[in-house]
Structure 1
């Protein structure tokens, strides 16, 4: 008898949503304001999952100790707040996956390190806010991923057992968080991953190369069709 699937939780940027195009516009706008050349989308994609600080540091080739960092970081967040949901879309296969989970009455949720200030407008803009059974941001917990606290809170809100819950993410901290919570994990190889990173070293339970592979994987693992 297959293990029950009580819920599926997802990281947001790089797992459910392709937010890189909007971040790309924001970073290049910031570079232009400073009189610097733009960076490519391919370059930026490798840094999105590491957050705004990492994107600023990569684009400007500085670290957080640089005297310019704080001003640039704050300006980037201000620009992003104005450009949250312009070119952001779900990865191909995600919409079908969420529909399928809902058809089988399997609740799904979001556990992200993206602050609520930015998460809520993006989710609302894509009509996902009220479909998710739980949306956990750093604002809601004391410890953020890779600590398991955010995943435990999502399970409490949904009413599911962590051991019967699956977590999908595109960063090693997602897999570590899921493992520490006692969940099965899927590493999203299509996400915002550095070209030099071997995701097979993350010790996830499963790996996918595109979002459209998640649904058939779940069909093979659980008694759902």
Structure 2
């Protein structure tokens, strides 16, 4: 695949792309299980569903869907526990700090566009000392429709005063690629992430697949 033009900004999904949040998400899910007298599940069970938020984590932890009579109760408990342990183990993925530094030294803006609500996104970014470095952090609270709709990506581009075509969007779920395509952004599938349950990454029709943050860094000027 031909190399695209250099971006003026690179936007990242948060969970599973920029930050490995699965350990803290899984821990909160296991605390919900513990409260019900259930043993913990291994982290590897939670990783594939970590990008799906409470729905995915509770689906794995308790085998329930939002239609379940007790879902709202368990969701509120899960979110409270997760907020209390938001950044105990969550860290940038290996190689991501070097990628961010490369963009910063080259004057390429970077930001976050996530389906994580702002009341969780903002303190997590602050805890990881990313708030002042990022050009934006867009959550569903800021737009009419979450991903896979393009609203959040287009809002980010507008805040940065850029055309969508001048931005790359990097995500670890098919909905990220669908959102980027709808927004007219160059889409990059993050093969180091959680990858969800949407089928093989090669089937997502991303413009490119980055196997590691280092590979993505090599595509920058």
What is the RMSD of the two structures over their aligned residues, measured on CA atoms? 1.5
Q: Residue 209 of structure 1: CA displacement? A: 2.1
SS in 1 for 2:64: coil
Q: Does residue 136 of the first structure (1) align with residue 138 of the second (2)?
A: yes
Aligned to 1:16: 18
With 9-18 and 23-32 compared, the bigger mean Cα shift is at: 23-32
Q: Does residue 63 of the first structure (1) align with residue 44 of the second (2)?
A: no
Aligned length: 219
Aligned to 1:88: 90
- Deviations along 1:75-123, one digit per CA (max 9) or x if unpaired, are 0001011110100000001100111001000001100000010001110
Alignment partner of 1:147 out of 138, 146, 149: 149
- Deviations along 1:139-191, one digit per CA (max 9) or x if unpaired, are 10011111111111100111111111100000001000001111111101111
- TM-score, with structure 2 as normaliser: 0.95
Q: Residue 67 of structure 1: CA displacement? A: 1.8
Mapping 1:173-192, distance limit 5 Å: 173-192=175-194
SS in 2 for 1:147: coil
Q: For structure 1, which runs of at least 5 residues remain unmatched after alignment?
A: none
Task: Report if the CA contact (8 A) 1:6-1:161 is conserved.
Answer: no
Q: For structure 2, which runs of at least 5 residues remain unmatched after alignment?
A: none
Task: Report if the CA contact (8 A) 2:52-2:196 is conserved.
Answer: no
Aligned to 1:41: 43
Aligned to 1:156: 158
Q: Residue 50 of structure 1: CA displacement? A: 1.1
Q: Residue 2 of structure 1: CA displacement? A: 6.7
Runs of 4+ in 1 over 4 A off after TM superposition: none
With 189-198 and 83-92 compared, the bigger mean Cα shift is at: 189-198
Aligned to 2:119: 117
CA distance in 2, matches of 1:159, 1:194: 31
